[in-house]
Structure 1
Amino acid sequence: MPPMKEPAVKREIPLPVCRDACHKIMGIGPVSISVTLAMAFGSLVLVVGLSLLLILWDANETNTFNLINRSIKQLSHQLENDLNNHVEPLQTHLHGVAHSLQQGRLSFTAPHHLQAVFRNTLDWEPELHGLFAWSMQSGLVGMVRDESGQIRPILRSSEDADMERAAITKALQSKKPYWDEISLFRGLSFIHYTIKVEKEGKLLGILSFSISIPEISRMVAGIGKAVGGSGFLLRGEDAVLGHQQRLSQPSANLTIPIGNIKDPVLPNLWAGKDPPEEVIPTEAGLIVKFIEANEDEYLAVMRKVEGYGPKPWYIGAWFPADEIGGASVERLFLSGLIGLFILVFGVWIAAILGKRIARPIRNSAVAQAQISQLEVEHVQELPNSFFKELNDQANAFNTMLGALRAFERYVPRKLVADLMQKKMQMDGLSETRDLTVMFTDLAGFTTLSENLSAQEVATFLNEHFDLLGVAVERQGGTIDKYIGDALMAFWGAPEPLEDAPKRACRAALDIAAKWQRHNAERTEQNLPPIGLRIGLHHGPCVVGNIGFPGRMNYTIVGDTVNSGQRLESLGKEVAPDAQVVILISESIRSQLDESFTTTEMGACPVKGRQRPIAVYRLLPQTHGE
């Protein structure tokens, strides 16, 4: 029989032997737990922190670019709006005069009435230099502002005849209103806006107003200053129409080439670089340029404005580049630095926390190493730990240490060493608003109108309402209606106004000052002065479209309206002989500051109210009644 083979014996390699063999093969020794914990916590914090920092940086960068983009767009729209707010009211007023001529409320054959309207307009609109009217019947009439600022009738000169004929010929050939080219007139350069007035296909005459180039430059400089930059106005891409330099050169060339202007930016404007699309996306009419000049970088923001002549206008302002978004970019980098500091601080805290967690384990390892050398008498008990597992370990170790010390008394150390050695191998409706209401009324106008023709009454009322309307609209008010010779207006709708009472009071004071001047002119003409009463009240009103579907009015109703009208009527009792009396309620007075002067009139009974109301008189800024 063949010899029997011995069965294979499966031998298990002890775990410590396996671990030691791996360490030898890999060439590394055991890793410190304190280092491991510090690295683990630090790496976790580092990964999370870097992720958050990148997310925050991306968000802040996006927000910064959006903020810069919004700032530039708002700035460009503000430049365009400021220009239109200066020029469009002038055009609107001239069209209003043309409409009055077409409707017969004014007439080219009554030049003194036109001159009165022109004078009033020039008085209210400092940007205007002159207003002119021409007709076959009356020829050329107009009012101009002279060098001293006085408003006078235009004096015709034989030297102006050729220019006058050329302007009239061009106006007659034009089919629509137009802005003319810059012209030189009596040593000053001007730009004109002209309307041909027709009715039923028949020519009535021509209306025009002029703005001097120095005044345009003053207006542009003011617009630039308002946005914190240096303003400019170009006519086309190559001619400077408005600039600070032109204030001191009223008689210079009609246009200044952009390359000849004394300005650090404008000569190089169109050679400037366009901004990156991701910073400032393209928008119609918006032009942004980065310009390098004198080793400095500037940013120019412009809006292209059509409708002011054959060539487009470019209204703009330039700034040092670091003034546009500089603070936002600084905040972006500051937030990055703060985030980086927090990240480093977090890693540092994680490393400290890892070491503090590892310290009890390291102490335990040291103590166990001493025990392995049977140095039981030198081993210190482990302190309690904040962590439950480590605390349990410390308690178990201390118990074991006590047992070993007790065991050491009964068992020889050599025997203990032998035992240990053996063991060691085992995610369009109506609403109620607080509004300010104004009512005005002329005192004794019914009696006065009895001695006037219908045309004269209409002319007087038009001039009167023109004076009131300019003051109301200048302060952001809304004219509700005309009631005979009375006017009703309000502030706070449709656009909300936080300072509606102050705006209404400023409008009332403007009206009072102009009305006193109007009465002074009447006195010079041996005409009696006319009294004007104004009532102001503030409170809740229903505002919206009111009426039947075929005839709606945007108006206001409510007790506040009634009270405003009662205050105006109360003026005839409070100051019957005053040229102007302005009465306001407590709800108005309580919102005024020290720049307004009021005097208390006491509690006055008001029709329609059971209790009297506190009434105050707003005093005009000019003295006398």
Structure 2
Amino acid sequence: MTVPVPADTDVAAAPQRAGRRKRTITLARTLAVAIGGLVAIAVAAVLAIYWTTAARTTFDLLTTQAEIGVASVEAQLRQHLEPVSNALGSLALMLQQDRLDADDASRFSTILTGALAASPQVNSIAYLTEDMHVRGVSRQPDGTYYSFDNKDDSDRGREALAEAAGKVGSYWGEILYLGDGPHATVLNLRQPVRRDGQLVGVMFAVVTVQDLSKFLARVSSDPSQVPFILYGDDRVLAHPRMAADPPPASVAEPLPRLDQIGDDLLAALWTKGTPVTVRNPRVRIREVEMGDKDEIFLYRKIYGFGPTPLTLGIHVPGDAVGAEVQRVFRAGLAGLAVMVLAIVVGVFVGRMIARPVRAFSDQARAVGTLDFGKLKPLPGSVFKELNEGAQAFNTMLVGLRWLETYVPKSLVRRLIVKGDGEDVVSIERILTVMFTDIANFSGAAERLPAARIAAYLNEHFALLGRCVEAEGGTIDKFIGDCLMAFWGAPEKMKDHAPRAARAALAIAAAMRAENDRRAAVGRPRLRLRIGLHSGPVVVGNIGAPGRTNYTIVGDTVNIGNRLEQLGKVLSRDDDTTILISAETAALLGPEFVMESLGPRRVRGRHGEVEIFRLTGLKPAA
């Protein structure tokens, strides 16, 4: 027997029985506390090690911070300058594909102005043609733009074209001095422009040294750290002091020397700086002492911004730096090892405990939904209690899989949801009952082996069960080749008769299809009788204390059974004969097609019963 449960019913949401729920704590929280305790012990050990070596820690920590600072400045410098290559490459591609014409002064100026507006780090974009014309757009100090178109017969222009002939992609050229003013000295990115493999010009993107110094001043997050960029070893390319007041420059000396920018400590970097040996290969350190000043310089070489390597670095006050690096390094490693060990051990133990518990929880949840097909045996555990629990669960699982063959799972689901069992108390209710029977099956079964009879009945009842449950019916029992089902309990249904009638018609259609398949392989067609009757019944748990069935009893049940048996007399040459009582017919809508067979006497009942033959549904309008 199965009982339908609404699709949105959540078995897990079943109400608890009366009484306050016991407060619990999750295993995950317990493990978190345990792991946190281990980590706390580890941190305490690290702190103890740290305080015992506090006087020896400063230098190494600040050296690491400074190295990170140098790396951060380098990363931001590349992020600042490398996008220029993308913008220049796009313009060069447009020129190469004739989508941009340098001779169209208006459109060429508009395109370059847009590219310049999208690249705030660029001061000018220009195009040097093979006939020595320079056309471009430059940004003014007030933020406006002006276009220029000049003839350039200088040796520098011809050298630029000759150099570009041997290049493929974009590249940074040498430092240029373009004239008077704060933006005279510039870095320049160059992009050869070719058509049909021949060089036709060079695109230039210009970044001024002053703008680069302003950028360097902005990226310095620590006021005590002074960033700088050297061009080679003896010229200053960018320095915060050059952002507001750059030193004078000329064609011969486009960049200032180290002693020309007002940073005395930087000027003494190579002359008075003492190298400091460190293990980090990515950074070099020099210590400069001048009078009462002590400064630490950290720097590295970077490449890819011109023919001359750049030296990128920062310098920090030396009075904040200790001298004994190795001891603090060992202390840090020891503390780190303790912390890592605590976390690894805590997580490992936590997983060993939580894994079988989580598996048990998942399987127990499947038991709560009565979906025994998804249950899997639990693996064993190295922990005795968990291993015994897994063995007990697996033993229970064997019993549950046998039990689900006989227990009506849908009814049990309903009881779990309700929690109080009120729906299985015997009550009187009006519902519709169905009986089915295969005509002459007993005689045919005598000639068949038992296994074949059982196989056919299983297939037959599965077919009928799908039709009944599709309309929300409850299968009460199977009696030989007969099926008994009803509608209206345990769920109350106002339309129990129409549901039963639709299920009967669905069974008739399924039997017709099944008989067509039998006929196709030369097997005889089977005839099915169905009886439907509506009326009052007693429904609920009925039986002995040790064996109870959820079923219905009453005269309505007897009449339904007699209607099915009456099909022996009133059946036609149809695969399925459906007989219904007047009580059921009165509850059906006009969409059902019925044929009155008049009053008939049924065995076991005084008087006559009005009988109808149910034949189908009217087509939808």
Scaled to the shorter chain, the TM-score interval is 0.3 to 0.5
TM-score, with structure 2 as normaliser: 0.39
- Structure with bigger RCO (C-alpha 8 Å, 6+ apart): 2
